Structure 1
Amino acid sequence: MKRLLLIALGLVYLTSGNISAQPTKKLEKADALYNAGAYFDAIALYRDDIDKIKDKKELSLYLFKIGNCFRQIGEPRQAEQWYEKAIRRECPNPKVYYYYAEMLKMNEKYDLAIEQFQKYKVLVPNDPLAEVGIQSCELAKQWIATPAGYEITNMRAINSKFSDFSPAYASTDYNILYLTSSRNGTVGNKTSAVTGENFSDIFITELNNKGIWSAPKPLDETINSQFDEGTPSLTPDGNNMFFTRCKVSKRNKLGCQILYAKQSDQGWLTPKELELAADSMIVAHPAISADGTELYFVSNIPGGNGGLDIWKITRQAGSEEWSAPINLGPQINTPGNEMFPYIHPDGTLYFSSDGHPGMGGLDIFKAKKNDEGQWVIENMRYPVNSTADDFGIIFEKEREAGFFSSRRNGGRGADDIYMFYLPPINFNMIGKVIDEKTRTTITDATVKLVGSDGTIATMQTQSDGSFRFNLVPNTDYVIVASKKGYLNNKAKETTKGLTKSQDFNVSIALTSTAKPIEIPNIFYDYDKWELRPESKEALDNLIQILNDNPNITIELASHTDSRGSQEYNYELSQKRAQAVVNYLIENGIATDRLKAKGYAQTQPKVVDENLAAQYPFLTPGTVLDKKFIDSLTNEDQKETVHQINRRTEFRVLREDYQSSGK
């Protein structure tokens, strides 16, 4: 059914150029089949006599036609090979590069596909599909690397080795499913020259109380005929059905129509055709809204935007009179093909397209109207979409679950039906608050969670320092931990862009205010007090600490090594401490929160566990005074100790500061 619509659309996109040489009888017959859209039957005839063509240009055009045939029957690997052969023989039709790129994309050869799209873009710069193809290749790589959270299952119990597609719910409990299939047992039971399979019919399958779907059975001949039937859409009660019938022959294109049938106690009544266009036109893929007042469909009637467009008709509740067709416009419809619409009970429109950026072939898209009444289009991404054709999606009303059709690798046949389900997404934050120095846990610390969605939650840490919060999707979070005697600290997490459940493990270290806190990496030139540029990053961290702890005032203490006179070092260290204070004031810290103090060499550093781990010649508890330095015989070790003593620290003076507001 999908390919029949593209075939019935006509050959405007498949024109191969004029072939002037006299073809063989088989090639003449193949051309007649090709022009009627009987691609499957045409392939064998083309291949039989292709080696009899000696002219390179003429041969390239026939190779292009064979590529088109394989593309239309859904064989992208074969199509890729024939397009490549056509290009090697300098096919004059620029469309060969576009279709070759499309097949490369469907075969996941994205970089090669981009090259061919670019060649086509040079030859046909006004075709927007070239840029869409390039963008699609880039997006496909991203989407495969970061899949959406849907779980996908092939419905092997109801699929066959033939095409099975376009499922439709036929009951409010979702236990009756209609589908389109070309499996054995169809009413016509004849092989289509288009696809090489049986003409398709509408089948029914039911879910039993053990959760097993029955073997699909065709509806009776009231609905199914010797032609192709498919793509059913039913009202929620299952009593009104719209479906497509395409009449085809080996020599003519007869178009597609939408039929409408009501169900009685004896079964389906004789369907009636919705007269929306001439018989030679495509009118197909109906999708009825839940309230029955809107019917979306696919057509090539005049006034569209490209190949196949999505249209709709409307009616008053209870009326049988439909409005004139309304095109959904260029936000939905592209120069490519838009097909298989489905209207969700919540008003979301789902459809398939090869004209919007996608992974390959037809991709499934969702569309919602914003506050301004404009459609916002979103690709359903991998794994709902694949590099093959993906189409014909349906949903349960209350759950992100349902069925769709796909021609992807790994199925039972050509097109297969897949079940999809989006599991509930759960995000948990599991954290601990610890002492920054001792790494021990802190009990009864206050942890505050602030979300970008307005969420605010507070709790106390347990005896093991732990805390836990439940998070929601698409939200940024800040987590602030505090306790008296410690500086506040925070962490950040986000659930934005995440499509699978996840636990966030967070550890927040609090620094005790009981002892001076060293500010690392504060550098000055020798005998200078001006801050060097590399010192400012560490001071920016101090600014953040002061902003996170607006209730504290601090003393900035600068220390020198023991070299030089104590009087001189007092003055130097005071200027260095004041330089730090000045920098903080310049960056918005209130003056009355800061005090500068130079200590010269009067407070040598005491070795802690961290220093001892960094310098094995030092022992925890050692005072790095002049006596200890003089005891060292290694000059490099002496210089290291001098460097350790040259430091800037801060200590908390008060924890009850209140801004004056000035």
Structure 2
Amino acid sequence: MKQRFFGTFLLVLTLLGACKSLQEKGTEQYLSGQYQYAIGTFSQILEEDPDNLEANEIVAESYRLSNRIENSAPYYQKLVEEDPSFNRYFFLGQSLKAQQKTEEAKEAFENAKAYTQDEALLARVQRELEAIKLAEGIANYWPYHELVNYRELNTPGPDYAPIVSENFLYFTSARQASGIYPATGMPYTKLFRTRAEDLRVDVSGIRTLPEFQNEEGLNQAAIAISPDGNTIIYARGNSTSPKDLPETALFASYFRGGGFTQPIWMPVNEDEFWWNSTPAFSPDGNTLYFASTRPGGFGGIDLYKATKLANGDFGNAVNLGPNINTPGNELFPRMAPDGKFFFASDGHPGYGKLDLFVAENDENGKQVIKNLGENINSPADDFGIFFTNYPKEGFLSSNREGGIGDDDIYYFVDKTPKPKIVNVLLNVTTQERVAGQANQVLPQARVVLYDGNNKQLGGDFSNTNGRVRFTLTPEADYTIIASKNGYFSKSIPYTTKGKTPDPSTLVQDVTNVTLDTTLVLDQLILDKSIILENIYYDLDKADIRADAAKELDKLVQILKDNPSIRIELSSHTDDRASDSYNLNLSQRRAQSAVDYIVSQGISRDRLVAKGYGETQLIIPNAQTEEEHQVNRRTEFKVIEIKE
């Protein structure tokens, strides 16, 4: 971005030597801010006298002050070889940095340290060195955003700072220009607009701004339009007329009585000698952000904000502070709807000149500054971001290599790959357990699916084949419950974790994975005893062992799945002790089992503990240990079904 809106910085030199008349002409051009003309004049001198320090100084400074510092390196190099100083080494470092010659830039910055004791200057050098190091680890803020030159919209001259308002694209361009801006040798810029819908621009309908007439012989640029469309603010300056304002300032035009007023100088400028530019409204229109060189900043150009007053004007400007502003330059602010703040800067760690950054809060609420990365930024100037569909689509400006001409308008789009979809199709089969036979299909069983938060996702009755189908998502946990009158309801956990392919390995957009599971239901018959397997007790003890607790947990689940049943839990012994001893032991064991079940959240009034001792032997006159084990058992039976 050729800095058409940068102020005039004066360097008073005593020019000596040959070609005095030519030097005087060049000096006058330089001091009046006609940097391009000064470069041309002193280049003639350097053709005859390459070692002329005064000529090298003015050419180097002219390139720097017109934001072409990358072209100034050979002139600063000549100066540090003949007459080194802090500024010459420092600006040489900046020039080399802009060319991506990082090692040479670091050497120049290190050399600059030897020519100053000023702590502020030393800190500025250190900041540059740290920025070079930090730039090596920049990650793309939007990894899948792609930037495209809007070639049909651009011209060989500058085209930049696009915004969209009420289906019109407004931007700055040097097309149809009359006159040359002597600081850069480029045509003066005007404001243009054309119809646009999102990123689709009617390039055949580009016209100069119809709301008011562009002025001749000066630059008009960086337009901002309030969200309601009733206020236009833009930067105006660089006139060569001694009767005009001495510096770039913000002007405003208001919609009144069916049309826009003639632009007027805004009070927020405060001083006609202060440079003010690149305005932007907050999403609600109540805050105006802009860039300024007014005193009290942190160096170079800083970003400010002003809040709208009751009368519609904007109040005193407030500096955005040292977290955003640097000793370098910050311009082109843009507040996003979610509170993130985008801006251009050459003072934060980046790739060379102006880069685009975002200020956002981290997880601790602290504001952090992030470079948008190399898929958005370049070694050249990148600035003026505007979103048409935040944050996926929008425009920005850049003078990077490969463009049409000077500054060009680019558009960006989010090309995040569509996620590969994996559908998990789960076939649930309901069966019933039949003693002495294979499990049988159980149709018309109610099957309900719940997610990991116990929210019901769906349910249906199994068909004649005992089949119900659900669609699940990968890497998720579920619970499936099956029920039918006359049967114990049953719930099982089910997970799809680890059961589907990695989406990154898939080729097709949609992949279906079919899985199967079965729920086997037992008939619910009053007073029918059901043996609980593997319920063991230590000899002559009634305490619940860890292995027995795992088996009792299954009964706990049955009771949870069937809240309407009441059961008797019974314990039986073998016949190798007295009747009274066995009866007492079995009662204590049954009660111990009931107490455990109650501890797992089951109401005590649903349970009856009953010890039968050796009165109900399955194998009378048992002889072997295995036979005795059959007799030592724990059972339960349903004794009541509540409606």
In the alignment, structure 1 residue 233 sits paired with structure 2 residue 228:
no
**Secondary structure in 1 aligned to 2:347?**
coil
In the alignment, structure 1 residue 360 sits paired with structure 2 residue 352:
yes
The residue type equivalent to 1:37 in the other structure is G
**Secondary structure in 2 aligned to 1:396?**
strand
The residue type equivalent to 2:317 in the other structure is P
Which of 243, 263, 281 pairs up with 1:288? 281
Aligned-pair CA distance for 1:91: 3.4
Alignment of 1:103-122 (within 5 A): 103-122=95-114
In the alignment, structure 1 residue 182 sits paired with structure 2 residue 174:
yes
The residue type equivalent to 1:32 in the other structure is E
Q: Any idea what the Cα deviations from partners look like across 1:398-456, whole Å, max 9, x if unmatched? A: 44221111110011111111101223455559899xxxxxxxxxxxxxxxx99xxx9x9
Question: In the superposition, relative to structure 1, how do residues 372 and 278 fare at CA in structure 2: closer, same or farther (>3 Å)?
Answer: farther
Aligned-pair CA distance for 1:201: 0.8
Q: Any idea what the Cα deviations from partners look like across 1:266-294, whole Å, max 9, x if unmatched? A: 64321121123221211222111222211
Question: In the superposition, relative to structure 1, how do residues 71 and 494 fare at CA in structure 2: closer, same or farther (>3 Å)?
Answer: farther
Q: Any idea what the Cα deviations from partners look like across 1:30-72, whole Å, max 9, x if unmatched? A: 1222122211111111011235558x5xx23431321232344
2:36 counterpart residue number: 40
Which of 55, 59, 63 pairs up with 1:70? 63
Which of 86, 100, 118 pairs up with 1:94? 86
Percent of paired sites with the same residue? 28
Aligned-pair CA distance for 1:468: 10
Aligned-pair CA distance for 1:395: 1.2
In the alignment, structure 1 residue 407 sits paired with structure 2 residue 402:
no
**Secondary structure in 1 aligned to 2:186?**
coil
Matched-pair contact (CA < 8 Å) for 1:95–1:120? yes
Alignment of 1:447-596 (within 5 A): none
**Cα distance in structure 1, aligned partners of 2:140 and 2:238:** 42
Q: Any idea what the Cα deviations from partners look like across 1:133-160, whole Å, max 9, x if unmatched? A: 3333344444489983211011111111
1:262 counterpart residue number: 254
1:583 counterpart residue number: none
Aligned-pair CA distance for 1:384: 1.2
Question: In the superposition, relative to structure 1, how do residues 147 and 372 fare at CA in structure 2: closer, same or farther (>3 Å)?
Answer: closer
Aligned-pair CA distance for 1:99: 2.3
Question: In the superposition, relative to structure 1, how do residues 478 and 205 fare at CA in structure 2: closer, same or farther (>3 Å)?
Answer: same
**Cα distance in structure 2, aligned partners of 1:118 and 1:253:** 41
1:30 counterpart residue number: 26
Matched-pair contact (CA < 8 Å) for 1:254–1:279? yes
The residue type equivalent to 1:136 in the other structure is A
2:183 counterpart residue number: 194
In the alignment, structure 1 residue 216 sits paired with structure 2 residue 209:
no
**Cα distance in structure 2, aligned partners of 1:431 and 1:62:** 72
Matched-pair contact (CA < 8 Å) for 2:45–2:55? no
2:323 counterpart residue number: 331
Which of 114, 118, 132 pairs up with 2:127? 132
1:444 counterpart residue number: none
**Cα distance in structure 1, aligned partners of 2:476 and 2:102:** 39
Aligned-pair CA distance for 1:111: 2.4
2:532 counterpart residue number: none
**Cα distance in structure 1, aligned partners of 2:508 and 2:71:** 42
Matched-pair contact (CA < 8 Å) for 1:388–1:407? yes
Which of 146, 158, 161 pairs up with 2:156? 161
**Cα distance in structure 2, aligned partners of 1:405 and 1:263:** 28
Question: In the superposition, relative to structure 1, how do residues 190 and 266 fare at CA in structure 2: closer, same or farther (>3 Å)?
Answer: farther
Matched-pair contact (CA < 8 Å) for 1:70–1:76? yes
Aligned-pair CA distance for 1:82: 2.7
Q: Any idea what the Cα deviations from partners look like across 1:455-488, whole Å, max 9, x if unmatched? A: x9xxxxxxxxxx9977xxxxxx999xxxxxxxxx
Aligned-pair CA distance for 1:243: 0.5
Q: How many residues align?
A: 464
**Cα distance in structure 1, aligned partners of 2:508 and 2:402:** 29
The residue type equivalent to 1:368 in the other structure is E
Matched-pair contact (CA < 8 Å) for 1:136–1:359? no
**Secondary structure in 2 aligned to 1:365?**
strand
1:150 counterpart residue number: 145
Matched-pair contact (CA < 8 Å) for 1:61–1:86? no
Aligned-pair CA distance for 1:74: 4.8
Q: Any idea what the Cα deviations from partners look like across 1:307-343, whole Å, max 9, x if unmatched? A: 11111111246x3232211111111111111111122
Larger Rg belongs to: 2
**Secondary structure in 2 aligned to 1:392?**
strand
The residue type equivalent to 2:3 in the other structure is R
**Cα distance in structure 2, aligned partners of 1:193 and 1:118:** 35
In the alignment, structure 1 residue 350 sits paired with structure 2 residue 342:
yes
1:3 counterpart residue number: 3
In the alignment, structure 1 residue 322 sits paired with structure 2 residue 311:
no
Aligned-pair CA distance for 1:114: 2.4
Aligned-pair CA distance for 1:223: 4.3
Matched-pair contact (CA < 8 Å) for 2:360–2:368? yes
Question: In the superposition, relative to structure 1, how do residues 270 and 145 fare at CA in structure 2: closer, same or farther (>3 Å)?
Answer: closer
Question: In the superposition, relative to structure 1, how do residues 407 and 19 fare at CA in structure 2: closer, same or farther (>3 Å)?
Answer: same
- What are structure 1's unaligned runs of at least 5 residues? 433-448, 457-466, 471-476, 480-488, 506-550, 552-662
Question: In the superposition, relative to structure 1, how do residues 60 and 91 fare at CA in structure 2: closer, same or farther (>3 Å)?
Answer: farther
Aligned-pair CA distance for 1:366: 1.2
Q: Any idea what the Cα deviations from partners look like across 1:206-237, whole Å, max 9, x if unmatched? A: 23798643353222553444321110000124
- Give the structure-1-normalised TM-score: 0.60
- What are structure 2's unaligned runs of at least 5 residues? 425-450, 456-470, 478-496, 512-549, 551-643
Matched-pair contact (CA < 8 Å) for 2:141–2:373? no
**Secondary structure in 1 aligned to 2:204?**
coil
Question: In the superposition, relative to structure 1, how do residues 147 and 397 fare at CA in structure 2: closer, same or farther (>3 Å)?
Answer: closer
